[in-house]
Amino acid sequence: MLFFRNDYGQGCTSRILELLAQANEADNPGYGTDQYCQRARELLASRMPDHDPVIHFLVGGTIVNLTVLRHILRPYEGVYSPDTGHIAVHETGSVEATGHKVITVPNASGKITPAALRKAHSQFQLIFEHMVMPRAVYISNATELGTVYTRKELEDLRAICDEFQLYLIMDGARLGNALESGVDYDLNDLAGWCDAFTIGATKNGALFGEALVIMNRKLQPYFRFTEKQSGAMLAKGWLLGLQFIGLFEDDAWFENARHANELAMTIQNRVKELGYPLLLTSETNQIFVVVTQQEYEYLSTRVDFEIWEQWNDDIIVRFVTSWHTTQEEAEYLCVYLEEARNQDSLPEPEED
């Protein structure tokens, strides 16, 4: 069966395995104070030459999101998120379990638009102490729907955050896919726009790991206290450092994302040719296809994928490509999609 369920279902790149084998017998101090984490910080910082980032390594996306928001928000403060945002939909209320309200904003193709943010903020009059005070804006790039923020959108969001004294926090679980989608900005630009952002590795060729980049100097002190109290500090922190060395020493992080994007575009273009409706046009490695019940039943016996939602009598399914997906697998998926679309013309299977 073909695997298109997610982009973290396999292990890691061969380079990371080599580094793990080499480091396996070494002695290391704990909690990210080792030589590997230091080397990884240097590699990431070199991508942001105009800035002085403070970088921490955490295991996964949910723990980094709740930890950074818990760190920067006061007890009476909340965070804006698209209503499709990961913290609003897919993290079991973890941010709100820390006492901070997630204030959802209607999404536009998975994104918060500057106009929507301005409208939402006008409804939260900060003079009214009976309401949660919004203090941060959470966005994902790439979004949960596979779309990507443009340079202008990010610049405009930064301007509105400055106007309303809001922190801009970017979830970069699929940041590699966003940066390899053809945008005209890079990590150095993001360091100038965001108060904090993450560089995701779990979904881009690592065993696990997210790098949290804190840019706002007000937010940098004492993060490790919040990290430890949140259960987010890994004793064997050197394992995290190795993931990022393996991905950034030879640009594998960028190459992995580019590979996944290119295969996804091949599949999405074929989906359009075959006449399948799309939930929206993706710019990265997630493709959302509307299929009939009959098409779903045909595909589900041949391909491992995720049901995204029901749409009247149809089903929206998600196909995800990764660093591990091969050209052959993408081609086979296209064949199965064509067969599912043309089932009435397929020959009947021969009886034994």
Spatial separation of the C-alpha atoms in residues 125 and 265, rounded to whole Å: 44
- 223 and 281 assigned to the same domain: no
Mean pLDDT of the chain: 95
Last residue of one domain, picked from the residues 248, 268, 293: 248
Does residue 7 fall inside a structural domain?
no
* Weakest-pLDDT range from 63-72, 110-119, 120-129, 247-256: 120-129
pLDDT surpassing 70 at residue 326: yes
Instruction: Judge whether 156 lies within some domain.
Output: yes
* Shared domain check, 231 and 298: no
Comparing 65 with 347, the larger pLDDT belongs to: 65
- Tell me the two tokens of residue 160: 């509105």
| DSSP output for 60-90 | -HHHHHHHHHHHH--TTEEEEEETT-HHHHS
Domain span holding position 316: 252-341
Task: Identify the pLDDT of residue 48.
Answer: 98
Do 202 and 125 fall into the same domain? yes
- Residue 36 Cα to chain centre, angstroms: 24
Whole-number Cα distances in Å, 257 to 200, 249, 352: 11, 15, 45
Residues 207 and 94 in one domain: yes
Decide if 2 is inside a domain. Answer: no
* Sign of the dihedral defined by the CA atoms of residues 37, 239, 58, 16, in that order: positive
pLDDT of residue 277 exceeding 90, the answer is: yes
109 φψ region: left (φ > 0), alpha (ψ -120 to 50), beta (else): left
- Residue 208 sits in a domain whose CATH number is 3.40.640.10
- 114 or 123, higher pLDDT: 114
Q: Please tell me the predicted confidence (pLDDT) of residue 161.
A: 97
Among 230, 254, 287, 103, which residue's Cα sits nearest to residue 179? 254
State the total domains in the chain: 2
Q: Are residues 205 and 285 in the same domain?
A: no
Q: Both 109 and 214 in a single domain?
A: yes
In a domain, 347, yes or no: no
pLDDT of residue 271: 98
Residue 123 within a domain:
yes
- The last residue of a domain, from among 248, 278, 298: 248
> Could you tell me if residue 111 is inside a domain?
yes
Mark whether 118 and 172 lie in a shared domain: yes
pLDDT at residue 128 in the model: 73
The model's pLDDT over 34-81, given as tens digits with 9 standing for 90+, comes to: 999 999 999 999 999 999 999 999 999 999 999 999 999 999 999 999
Strand-strand pairing, 133-140 and 167-171 = parallel
What does the DSSP 8-state code read for residue 111? B
Instruction: Tell me how far apart the alpha carbons of residues 322 and 181 are, in angstroms, rounded to a whole number.
Output: 14
Judge if 183 and 299 occupy the same domain: no
pLDDT reported for residue 130: 79
**Secondary structure (DSSP) of 265-322:** HHHHHHHHHTT--BSS--SSSEEEEEE-HHHHHHHHTTEE-EEEEEETTEEEEEEE--
The reply to whether 99 and 211 lie within a common domain is: yes
Residue 209 CB neighbours (<10 A)? 27
pLDDT at 122: 85
Domain-located, residue 352: no
3-state SS class at 26: coil
CA dist., res. 179 & res. 185, Å (int): 7
pLDDT value for 216: 98
How many Å apart are CA 154 and CA 159, to the nearest integer? 9
Q: Are residues 111 and 184 in the same domain?
A: yes
Percentage of residues in the chain with pLDDT exceeding 70? 97
Coil, helix or strand at residue 232: coil
Question: Which pLDDT score, from 0 to 100, does residue 344 have?
Answer: 67
Average pLDDT over residues 209-227: 98
324 plus 199 within the same structural domain: no
3-state class (DSSP) for residue 167? strand
The pTM is what?
0.95
User: Which residue did the predictor score with more confidence, 312 or 293?
Assistant: 293
Query: What pLDDT shows up at residue 124?
Result: 75
Domain ends where: 248, 266, 297? Answer: 248
